[in-house]
Amino acid sequence: MKGNRQLHDAFSKRHPAVNFVFFLGVIVASALIQHPAYVLAGFVTGAIYYLMLNGAKGLKFLLLLLPVFVFVAAINPLFNTDGQRILCHVFGRPYTYEALLYGLALSGVIVVMLLWFGCYNQVLTGDKFTSLFGNLIPAISLLLVMVFRMVPNFIRKARQLAGARKSIGKGAGENATAKEKVTDGLTLLGALTTWALEGSVVTGDSMRARGYGTAKRSSFMIYRMTLSDWLLMAAMVLLLGLTLVAAYFGQTAAAFTPVMEIAPVSWGLCSYTLFLMIPILYHWKEAAQWYISRSKI
Amino acid sequence: MKKSHIATLITFFLLIPATLFLGAKLPGRTYYITGTLIILELMIPFFMAFEGRKPQARELVIIAVLSAIAIAGRVLIPIPDFKAIFGVIMLAGIAFGPETGFMVGAIAAFGSNFVYGQGAYTPWQMFSYGAAGMLSGFAFGKGRLPRKAWLMGIFGFVTVVLVVGPILDSMSLFLGFVKPSPEAFGLVFIPGFAHNCPNALCTAAVMLILGKPFLSILNRIQVKYGMLT
């Protein structure tokens, strides 16, 4: 759906499995870790990668995240009154320093997740998802592929139907009431359904005639795991594993209420940050390589 | 025993308790991950059953068409916040039964997020939309509720307000709060209710206006092409 855009990012050109494992790791880790330093690392790397993917347009999204951050951070202390230092009383309930910090960390987690999901949507497009899961869930992947094709097709058909209705004086115009718009839209939807379902039966029969379901479905794989894919995968597993070890030793622990206890920053943060920077570093490496090989000519 | 039945048993008696246990054991705020994992695990049996019974080409295409129509419905009616998506999903469930209803709902949610963006809410949307299709399929199955337009409208309204909305809202409870307290509960579900009501009204309107024609279209196709379900 968003695949026709030119992406100048080297990481998104790698095997979908590499992309998927990376984002799975990022999103699970950033949902679980609420240590402020780790959240900050997630935000900075996520923001850099998002800007690399979107260019200057990405700044708008980053600015939109600010109100989300402030809102969630400010609202949480209203419901969590634990904590030692009371800042003020809101509706007769204590609004504490610790709870505010906790709120900040938590809304940081949410913002980081939103940011990385934003990157995910750019990198793991529908075609990659279906090619990745085509063997594991063949019927559902096929369903998705068909849906991706049908949605734009149906919208085009619906425009034709609307045009035909308009030419015989039906349909909702510019200044129609909401009720007219709804009735008109639903009439269109009904007409579209008839057309689409008739077509679907024909498609289904055609698929059967061509032997769908007679043997195990094989799928054409456009992507192959190359050496650099395996290397990236190994780096990801290693760095994420190190972070996990660090988490096991309590390096990512951060408790805010009732008593604030934040683990000191140690090597775990390095491995986590390096893990998050994999797409950025990989892109820089490719760009440098390209620059060097071009300058040799 | 069928593979999907074994999967269902494993999911309910091993996977979900294990997730709950681990979620409670892990330090820190793990509600969101635990909740999302359980939602994903709840969907596994449905998808396994679907893959397991090797759906015929016709069935596949019909599910795809219905999901695509549910998604396209978002574009066709130029009124913001008027979402025909639930209405179409529930009508699909009524016409083709609970299993198809679930698949149409889950695929419509997942597929539309490839257009509008995946997010932390994707599994919750898939589950709640699927639940809407499944419930309506059960409620209006053969020999149950009569398929009257007004009854479908009321059913649509109630399902969106009481099932789909709260499932989606509970995600923001798990994701956005330090700890799920009764007050946080109120803060999420009361505005959630206010937001769900217009959606529910849309669903009811879709069922009232489109219900009868839609079902007769589906019925005609079933008769015309000899798909007697």
Enumerate the β-bridge partners of residue A255: A261
**Residue A254: in which H helix or E strand, if any?**
strand A254-255
Share of chain B above pLDDT 70, in %: 90
CA-closest candidate to residue A280, choices A115, A38, A47: A47
In whole numbers, what is the pLDDT of chain B averaged over residues? 83
Share of chain A above pLDDT 70, in %: 97
Q: How far is CA B183 from CA A151, B127, B172, in A?
A: 41, 26, 14
pLDDT > 90? residue A268: no
CA-closest candidate to residue B218, choices B108, B77, B104: B104
**Which runs of consecutive H residues, i.e. helices, occur in chain A?**
16-32, 36-54, 58-79, 97-123, 126-133, 138-167, 178-209, 227-248, 267-276, 278-296
For residue A214, the model assigns a pLDDT of: 83
Question: How far does CA A34 lie from the centroid of its chain?
Answer: 20
The residues, any chain, with a CB within 8 Å of residue A286's CB and separated by 6 or more, are A10
pLDDT digits (tens, 9 = 90+) for A17-47: 999 999 999 998 988 888 889 999 999 999 9
List of chain B residues whose C-beta atoms are within 8 Å of the C-beta of residue A196: 65, 68-69
For residue A1, the model assigns a pLDDT of: 39
Q: What is the mean pLDDT of residues A58-68?
A: 89
pLDDT > 80? residue A288: yes
Q: Phi, psi at residue B108, to the nearest 5°?
A: -65, -40
**Token representation of residue B82:** 């008027």
pLDDT digits (tens, 9 = 90+) for B46-102: 888 888 888 888 888 989 999 999 988 776 776 666 778 888 999 999 988 888 899
Amino acid occupying residue A47: A
Share of chain B above pLDDT 90, in %: 16
Looking at the complex, report in whole angstroms how far the Cα of residue A268 sits from the nearest Cα belonging to chain B.
Answer: 17
CA-closest candidate to residue A243, choices A217, A276, A215: A276
CB pair distance less than 8 Å for B76 and A192: yes
CB pair distance less than 8 Å for B57 and A118: no
pLDDT > 70? residue B27: no
Domain B56-224, classified CATH 1.10.1760.20, yes or no: yes
Query: What is the pLDDT confidence band of residue A6, given thresholds at 50, 70 and 90?
Result: very low
pLDDT > 90? residue B209: no
Q: Say which DSSP state A222 is in.
A: -
The residues, any chain, with a CB within 8 Å of residue B158's CB and separated by 6 or more, are B200
List of chain A residues whose C-beta atoms are within 8 Å of the C-beta of residue B30: 32
pLDDT > 70? residue A136: yes
List of chain A residues whose C-beta atoms are within 8 Å of the C-beta of residue B51: 137-140
Looking at the complex, report in whole angstroms how far the Cα of residue B204 sits from the nearest Cα belonging to chain A.
Answer: 12
* Range with the largest mean pLDDT of A72-76, A230-234, B39-43, B198-202: A230-234
What CA–CA distance (Å, rounded) separates B229 from B226? Answer: 9
∠ Cα B18 B168 B192 (to 5°): 135
- Cβ–Cβ under 8 Å, residues A270 and A259: no
Q: How far is CA A235 from CA A54, B22, B74, B183, B208, in A?
A: 25, 27, 42, 44, 56
For residue B180, the model assigns a pLDDT of: 66
List of chain A residues whose C-beta atoms are within 8 Å of the C-beta of residue B78: 181, 185
What CA–CA distance (Å, rounded) separates A125 from A23? Answer: 13
